[in-house]
Copies of this chain bind each other. A is one copy, B any other.
Amino acid sequence: MALVLGVDGGGTGCRAAVARVGGPVLGRGAAGPANISIDLEGAAANILAACEAALREAGGGEVRAAVLGLAGANVTAQAARLQGMLPFGDVRIVSDAVIAAKGALGAEDGILALLGTGSVFAVQQGGAIRLHGGRGFLMGDEGSGAVLGRALLRAALRADDGFRAMTPLLAQVLGELGGAEAAVAFALTARPADFARFAPRLLDSDDAAAVEIVGAEVTEVAEILRALQADALPPVTFIGGLGPFYAGRLAGRFAVRAAQGSALDGALALAGVLA
């Protein structure tokens, strides 16, 4: 029985699924972190463990093609080394955003907006997927939770400096962090996820600063989507932790389509094309 294998791997864990080409999932497996840019050997071991568990559940068979969507997969040299470590026929390693886009959009032309701690956008046209953005916290990640949280802290500091009006939310955030100096110190060592933890309280808040910050990022995301739509006006699928929020805000301006499947579904679909 010829099988295809899909893997969705990131910094917190990895999941694998096995299916017949075009058929239903026959087995699933999960294991620990799979960030190839941080720990290639560990990632390879976890990916293998997840795949073996999925194959066991499927009752075994020959894996003809495997697609791995991995965070950090743009580290080309590491990806090439990982490819050599995996005994699964034709192995292709792509960015986790590619399998997320394939899973969410299925076979349809469309735009993906993945908005979580970071952000990335993708356009699928005639089955080909192109990624846009995802440049990371410092240089991009437009509309992401980390960018929203950082904007909240910046606004709080600006208010503390007398550069803008203080609002209840800004005062609350400064108070929680222990004042402006402590907020600056926090920001110096904070990771994107630490900033993103402030994002939820911005959403749907009627605090003047929250309205301004959220409005700016919604506008930013809308401008990006408009640029990516070009003339064809394909529908947009929003996923990630902030996906539902942006979908709600932008439903009046874009044709919003629900995600068809998961990133793991996307990896299996791409593996099916290879097989």
Contact = CB atoms under 8 A, between A and B. Distances in A.
Contacts of A188: 136, 138
A188 B192 CA distance: 13
B140 A157 contact: yes
Interface residues of A, number: 29
A153 B140 CA distance: 10
Contacts of A158: 140
A184 interface: yes
A3 to B, nearest CB: 34
A74 B181 contact: yes
Nearest to A186: B139
A132 B157 contact: no
Given A132-B163, A161-B132, A163-B132, A139 B184 contact: yes
A157 B135 contact: yes
A73 to B, nearest CB: 13
Interface string A114-137: 000000010000000000110110
A11 B255 CA distance: 54
Contacts of A157: 135, 139-140
A184 B138 CA distance: 9
B139 A227 contact: no
Interface string A227-240: 11000000000000
A82 to B, nearest CB: 19
B153 A139 contact: yes
B184 A227 contact: no
A139 B163 CA distance: 13
A108 interface: no
Contacts of A150: 138-139
Nearest to A121: B161
Interface in A178-203: 180-181, 183-184, 187-188
A138 B153 CA distance: 11
B136 A227 contact: no
A187 B139 contact: yes
B162 A139 contact: no
A162 to B, nearest CB: 6
A259 interface: no
A81 interface: no
Contact of A135 (B132, B161, B227): B161
B139 A154 contact: yes
Top 4 closest A-B pairs, CB basis? A132-B161, A139-B187, A163-B224, A163-B227
